[in-house]
A and B are shown apart, each in its own frame.
Chain A
Amino acid sequence: MGGLEAGPVDLTEAAYAPWQKRVKALALLLIRGDKAQMNVDELRRGIEDLAPEDYERLGYYERWTRSIADILTEKGLFTAEELTVKMAEVEKRWQEQGPK
């Protein structure tokens, strides 16, 4: 994105939310852990491969999440269906009990 037009840099120092830290930790495990499943270049490619409107709309760690899901699905670690089912379970639980 170097050289594109953009507004002033927002210098707000915001702490990262717990869920953002977990995405980062998950990425570390998947890329550098004993049971590494992907590499950082795949993570980057997965971010680039997001539809332009998704890329624009999503936050930084939301893009990471989508990329990890896409890359691991592509590698056959789980199916898109398995992820959808698990997401429905998580969302149901959060609606009942709140996010952990």
Chain B
Amino acid sequence: MSHEDSHKDHAKEHQHSHGHPHPQQPDSEDEPYSHEQVMATALEELLSDKGLIAAGDMSSALDYWASKTPADGARLVARCWTDPAFAQRVGENVNAAAAELDMDIGTTPVVAITNTPDLHNVLVCTLCSCYPIGLLGESPGWYKSRAYRSRVVSEPRVVLAEFGTQISDETEVRVHDSTADLRYIVIPMRPEGTEELSEGELAEIVTRDCMIGTALAKGLEE
């Protein structure tokens, strides 16, 4: 079940618990709000009343999240593909290597795991949904879903097939469960036929999913 589905289910249940639907709100989506949405706003206001968050704090935190996208991860991968010395530094310390590209990915240590013809890596966090936000931005809904987190550890090839990704049985599929203090990024293999592409063009073929490991990087013509 995705969190969006369960949100709808809950909204329905909320209506029933009150015995009446909430009035339609022209400025919001058609769904009525949930108990927890009310709680979230109340938390913000209560913390603000108590001086624990300041007026501008929320907007700067929202701006921070909005500024984080997979484009930074893609730029890092493209540089790895074109600069073997940089790739080696990424292997040693992703946070420091990202700083060379003027990216601030935060202090949580990120570990790069590199795909090879013999090894395909895929990421999950079964305990929560840890994710390299500094390099990839907000994680997709499916990464947070019970289905992905439950199944990718025990049947990774079946889950990868649902993403349209087939890995040869000769290649080791390695699942990384990041449940503690480290975050991961997969450095995908550079596709064949991309020798002529510039670093900027290469960054465009590096998708979010191939840095999670649920997809392979594909050339422009495919």
Contact = CB atoms under 8 A, between A and B. Distances in A.
Find out whether A and B make contact in their complex, taking CB atoms under 8 A apart as touching: yes
Interface of A: 1-14, 16-17, 19, 21-26, 28-30, 33, 35, 37, 44, 47, 56-62, 65-66, 68-69, 72, 77-78, 82-83, 86-87, 89-91, 94-95, 98-100
Contact of A22 (B9, B58, B141): B58
A25 B138 CA distance: 11
Given A26-B47, A91-B38, 17 more contacts: A3-B150, A8-B162, A9-B145, A9-B159, A12-B4, A12-B142, A14-B141, A22-B40, A29-B57, A33-B53, A47-B128, A65-B37, A66-B36, A66-B39, A68-B43, A83-B46, A98-B26
Interface of B: 1-7, 9-10, 13, 22-23, 25-29, 33-34, 36-47, 50, 52-53, 57-58, 61-62, 64-65, 124, 126-129, 138, 140-142, 144-151, 153-154, 159, 162-163, 177
Contacts of B28: 98-99
B9 to A, nearest CB: 7
A38 B128 CA distance: 17
Contact of B38 (A5, A29, A33, A87): A87
Contacts of A33: 53, 57, 61
A10 B144 contact: no
A19 B6 contact: no
A62 B34 contact: yes
Contact of A99 (B2, B25, B44): B25
Contacts of B39: 65-66, 69, 83, 87
Interface centre among B4, B43, B150 (most CB of A within 10 A): B43
B99 to A, nearest CB: 18
A44 B128 contact: yes
Given A10-B142, A62-B34, A87 B150 contact: no
A13 B141 contact: yes
B65 A83 contact: no
A16 B139 CA distance: 10
A26 B22 contact: no
State the 7 A-B residue pairs at the shortest beta-carbon distance, nearest first: A2-B126, A60-B3, A25-B61, A59-B7, A62-B36, A98-B25, A86-B42
